[in-house]
Amino acid sequence: MPDRPLVIDSLAQETPETLSRDDAEKETARLHENQIDYCANSAEHAIVKKLVPGFGVFFHARARGIYKLVVAIAVSLCPQAARAQDALRRIPVALKSSDVIATGNDWVALPTIRASDGALMNFNVLSMRDRGLLQVVGEAGNAALQPYFLVDGKPLRFQDPAWELIEYWIPVAHLTTEQVELTLTYCAPPGSRAAFIRMTATNRGAKPIPVSLGMKASWGGLSRVTYTPVALRGERTVGEAPWVDHAQVFSFITHDTQFAWSLAYPGSVGEILTPPQTVSPSLDAKKTVSLAGGQTAEALFVLGVGIEEFSAPHSAKALRELLDREGAQAVIEQTAAWCRRRTRTTGQQDLDLLMNRNFLFTELYAWGRTIDTEQLVGVTSRSPRYYVSAAYWDRDSMLWSFPGLLDIDAPFAREALDYALTIQLRNTGTHSRFIDGVALEDGFQLDEAVAPILASAEYVAHENDSAFLAAHREALVLLRDRLLGRFDAGTGLYSSLQDSQDEYQKLPFLTYDNVLAWKAFLGLSTMFDRLQDAAGAREMTQKAEALQKSILKYCVSSDAPGATGPMFASATDGKTVLFTEIPPGSVLKLPALGFVSEDDPVFVRTFDWLHSKNYRYSFSDRPYGLPGSYRLPITTSWSVADHLQLSWGREQALKILHATTWDAGIISEGIDATSAKMDSPGGAFATAAGYMAHAICKEYCKAIR
């Protein structure tokens, strides 16, 4: 490998402001854990120390800029480290034939790659006009894209291949027969309005053999998805892509073209089939070669998306040109490098696999860019496997996905928070909304009303971003006033119509929600102080103190059946109390929120009661049981994540994490408490994926957060 040039980042020219020694040591540890301190025990490292005085002892306040300089120096001096950095991590994954694999980028989602044969059952884009997903499906339950191989002109079954993930995200299937070794790779480079499928075949014998690598595309229907698929009525066509060679474009037309997608097949020959030859427009493209012994053939198929017949094939064309210039392997490596920068490590391979897949899943499936307005939007999930996919919840996006984003990609987290404080601001607190902010399911939920406040406070503290705070001051004031509007003078508590599992609660004051409000007031106090609003900060502190007293007065009771003393109720009206569990908004989260310590006697009694036979949904007698509810009579992913952060619950949480496969490695809403199998309607839950990944990282990541 040739020596790399020494590149000096422009940020190195800025005037440094020194950090404390503790902060510097933490930053050094963070960089080391993310494999930036490559030459830790080498002579080259000593040179780096001389080049950068204080390296490993202090960094200035702009450490995120200066460490790029350190990395450039280290890499230029440590070619063995550069090789280690360049090596792709390939992680084998065990899958059942019935499983599907998800990949994609911010523009196009490929949520259902069939593990049994590598076929893509459907794919989708986000559409602001359609307030959700536009999903392409194949004809009559068949795949939208079906790869295939021919050897000696005969079909070779690509059945139950072995799968691996490059950098936890790029799926690769392998199948070996006596004659050939076959691979299939799906890759969606970041920022591209396209994805590509790479197929390879290697002749394992000595004699030449004819081999075909092909792709069948089926245009069976287009659905709008917000919660459930709704088939759209219009004409589906296929034809030559304008100004793009070796490509076809599939259009959906009503009074005008509403959406289009394209398949480019460089080096292959395509055949279009249209009604009445077939039920639906389709394409069969294949590349046939004579493979000498030991020789490998490659075929590329590029899927592009757009709003009409020109944009879709040109999305594919741009990626095809990049593939031509760089080569497919280089583009895969570039995509893998993007993924790698967004991964962390616990030092445990199994936890790393679960954590990193779900970190990437929350960034790329709980968020995406609309094909028509190019805006970043947040959704529960871009996968149709989740039963309320493609809608926006403040709680899901800001309390569950957002902490995960902040762990791996702070600039992206900033953009996501901006979306919450702008497009979604007018209806913050409303049960659920479409991606353009319009109300979907009405009903006020207090936890959702305070979610953007909590995310803002977390982001500002994490990134020290005063400019962002100043730019969104009016939004925070609006959210504060909306919260204050829920105040009940009789109890000093704040009301909600629905709870965190989206169910009506007759008792208006929810304990968990009010603890969130308490934490939101503290966050507002800190942010107003940064905005030099001393009076506003002081008022928020006073509100927090008063609310804390009211919670301890009205939300604690000894009346639970079998209780050994005062414990936290889940809801109250100031007179009557309700004892139950609400997994997405559990009172078991109170220590993590900083409201009480884990060994607080009131909390200890609450924990014990929810895990006892006194509580109907404790599931304490089940091998993988954690407290559920009438709405969620399962072990939920939130409960697992919450117990992971409690010393008394961690052992059971880890047992569950090691026992279940979730949804082929992607977090689902929950699992069966007896079998540890996924609760089927709640698969591919992208916002919950962020919640779980963050919880794992919070407890086990070696890098300094």
**Percent of the chain scored above 70 by pLDDT?**
87
- How confident is the model over 455-481, as a mean pLDDT? 98
Q: Which two tokens stand for residue 120?
A: 């893509």
Over residues 144-193, the pLDDT tens digits come to: 999 999 999 999 999 999 999 999 999 999 999 999 999 999 999 999 99
In this prediction, residue 102 carries a pLDDT of 98
Contacting residues for 1 by C-beta, under 8 A, at least 6 apart: 79, 82, 83
Separation CA 173–CA 167 (nearest Å): 14
Longest dimension (CA), the chain: 88
Side-chain-side CA neighbours of 623 within 13 Å: the count stands at 10
Over residues 221-245, the pLDDT tens digits come to: 999 999 999 999 999 999 999 999 9
Per-residue 3-state assignment (H helix, E strand, C coil) for 342-363: CCCCCCCHHHHHHHHHHHHHHH
> Peptide bond before 276: cis, by omega within 30 degrees of 0?
yes
In this prediction, residue 199 carries a pLDDT of 98
Residue with structure tokens 């404390």? 20
Cβ-based burial of 347 (10 A; exposed 0-12, middle 13-18, buried ≥19): exposed
Over residues 116-156, the pLDDT tens digits come to: 999 999 999 999 999 999 999 999 999 999 999 999 999 99
In this prediction, residue 402 carries a pLDDT of 98
Chain mean pLDDT for the chain: 90
> In which band, very low, low, confident or very high, does the pLDDT at 86 lie, cut at 50, 70 and 90?
low
Side-chain-side CA neighbours of 606 within 13 Å: the count stands at 28
- Residue 271's Cα: distance from chain center in Å? 37
In this prediction, residue 275 carries a pLDDT of 81
**Confidence check: pLDDT of 16 > 70:** no
In this prediction, residue 265 carries a pLDDT of 98
- How confident is the model over 374-378, as a mean pLDDT? 98
Separation CA 74–CA 85 (nearest Å): 12
**Confidence check: pLDDT of 52 > 70:** no
- How confident is the model over 356-380, as a mean pLDDT? 98
Q: Which two tokens stand for residue 23?
A: 């902060």
Over residues 498-509, the pLDDT tens digits come to: 999 999 999 999
In this prediction, residue 87 carries a pLDDT of 85
SS3 category, 100: strand
Given CA atoms 633, 571, 511, 485 in this order, what sign does their dihedral have?
positive
Domain 349-700, what fold? Glycosyltransferase (1.50.10)
In this prediction, residue 85 carries a pLDDT of 53
Over residues 537-554, the pLDDT tens digits come to: 999 999 999 999 999 999
Residue among 587, 449, 437, 419 nearest 524 (CA): 449
**Confidence check: pLDDT of 704 > 50:** no
Residue with structure tokens 């090596």? 87
**Confidence check: pLDDT of 404 > 70:** yes
Q: Which two tokens stand for residue 268?
A: 């292959």
- How confident is the model over 238-262, as a mean pLDDT? 96
Q: Which helix (H) or strand (E) holds 340?
A: helix 328-340
**Confidence check: pLDDT of 445 > 70:** yes
**Confidence check: pLDDT of 42 > 60:** no
Domain boundaries, the chain: 10-86, 90-340, 349-700
DSSP 227: B
Q: What CATH architecture is 90-340?
A: Distorted Sandwich (2.70)
Full-model pTM: 0.89
- How confident is the model over 674-694, as a mean pLDDT? 94
In this prediction, residue 278 carries a pLDDT of 78
CB atoms < 10 A from the CB of 495, how many?
Answer: 19
DSSP 52: S
> In which band, very low, low, confident or very high, does the pLDDT at 657 lie, cut at 50, 70 and 90?
very high
Over residues 284-312, the pLDDT tens digits come to: 999 999 999 999 999 999 999 999 999 99
Per-residue 3-state assignment (H helix, E strand, C coil) for 168-193: CCEEEEEEECCCEEEEEEEECCCCCC
What is the full DSSP assignment across 557-596? Answer: ES-STT-SS-EE-SEESSS-EE----GGG-GGGTTTTTSS
In this prediction, residue 231 carries a pLDDT of 96
In this prediction, residue 703 carries a pLDDT of 52
CB atoms < 10 A from the CB of 13, how many?
Answer: 9
**Percent of the chain scored above 90 by pLDDT?**
86
Provide, for the chain, the percentages of residues in helix, strand and coil under a 3-state DSSP scheme, each rounded to the nearest 5: 35, 25, 40
Cβ-based burial of 274 (10 A; exposed 0-12, middle 13-18, buried ≥19): middle
> In which band, very low, low, confident or very high, does the pLDDT at 69 lie, cut at 50, 70 and 90?
very low
Residue 651 one-letter amino acid: E
Separation CA 689–CA 357 (nearest Å): 9
Q: Which helix (H) or strand (E) holds 113?
A: strand 109-114
